[in-house]
Amino acid sequence: MVLDGIVSPVHSQPVHPPTAPVPVPPEVSGTAPWAGSPPLDNESAHFSPFVELGRQAWARLAQSIQQPLNQDDVDRLRGIGDHLSLDEVAQVYLPLSRLLNIYVENAARLRSATNDFLGESTRRTPFIIGVAGSVAVGKSTTARVLQEMLRRWSSTPRVELVTTDGFLYPNAELRRRGIMDRKGFPEAYDRRRLLRFVSEVKSGRPEVPAPVYSHLKYDIMPDEYHVVRRPDVLILEGLNVLQPARVREDGTAGLALSDFFDFSIFVDAKSSHIQQWYVDRFMRWRHGAFANPEAYFHRYSRLSDQEAVAQASDIWKRINGPNLRENIQPTRSRARLVMSKDDDHSVSRVLLRKV
């Protein structure tokens, strides 16, 4: 079950920060073992393919870059219950936006050099960023902030954000398959349609429609689409965007969604913290989204505090918790970068893949 808040799109004029060189991220001694890996001894840690940066070390990478957002921007971008402040934007997302800008610019240079080598003149294709993580971990806020910040760089004024919620099967189909209570699990998505969408965007098709999901109706909106038109960057946000390719009956594997990604981010936290954030958000929704008589979950607005906590905890234990353990957490090590959060929702460290 996926219960996410709704935040209106942000429309603002680009204000390009200076493109002064940013220092190469320094390697930190005592790099922590990668999520899910066995503990490393000192020698193995020295040669780890990952670098771990604490918040202060990470924040120093953007000291020379102007902060492009103000408090109004932060208030609009923040999701329900998420921790997001101007300090968080400056210390965490500003360095990340610069790092992504470096990747985008280098991808463009590589394409240009390849065209010269081949004697071709193929146009630049969108740079695709995948953002993964659990329900209630704050990945939607991360995706919105990155969209807004990347728009401020002169090389990426057109940044689109699409969530994979739109590629869930309609409720009628989920009921037909007997998996309505597994909404958000990998099998609840029209994977073929999602792969086709990303493939067409990546190949440079002028217009590619993405289906729209309504959190109010808790279903796909028929005949409603978000049309993506050759963006500089596409951010694809969702629970399972880093799932590996499925293995066919003959033992071969098809395409994975991440095969089309140029960069990927996993928003991480302890499962106990995420569970508490989910319960806290559920409680807020009783007086927000659930209070709307047209809302699919309007019945929850009439619960007492004790009943609401029990209901949210039950949903977590039956659905969101197992999905996190079985499907989402195992994809963490596939990400290019992991943002690790503390219990107050603030990012405390960043793990960046070196190779």
Q: How far apart are CA 133 and CA 139, in angstroms?
A: 6
For the chain, what is the largest distance between any 2 Cα atoms, rounded to a whole number of angstroms?
68
List the binding residues for ATP.
133-140
In DSSP terms, 209 is beta-bridged to 227
Listed residue (198, 131, 194, 134) closest to 167, CA to CA: 194
Structure tokens at 5: 């808040």
Q: How far is CA 278 from the centre of its chain?
A: 17
Q: How far apart are CA 222 and CA 323, in angstroms?
A: 27
Q: How far apart are CA 101 and CA 292, in angstroms?
A: 40
Q: In what order do the strands lie in the sheet with 263-268?
A: 50-54, 347-353, 337-341, 263-268, 127-133, 233-237, 159-163
Q: How far apart are CA 244 and CA 227, in angstroms?
A: 27
Those residues with Cβ within 8 angstroms of residue 318's Cβ, 6 or more apart along the chain or in another chain: 181
Q: How far apart are CA 228 and CA 283, in angstroms?
A: 34
> How do beta strands 219-228 and 127-133 pair?
unpaired
> How do beta strands 208-214 and 219-228 pair?
antiparallel
List the binding residues.
133-140
> How do beta strands 337-341 and 50-54 pair?
unpaired
Q: At what angle do helices 305-315 and 271-285 cross, to 10 degrees?
A: 130
Those residues with Cβ within 8 angstroms of residue 220's Cβ, 6 or more apart along the chain or in another chain: 166, 168, 169, 170, 171, 211, 212, 213, 214
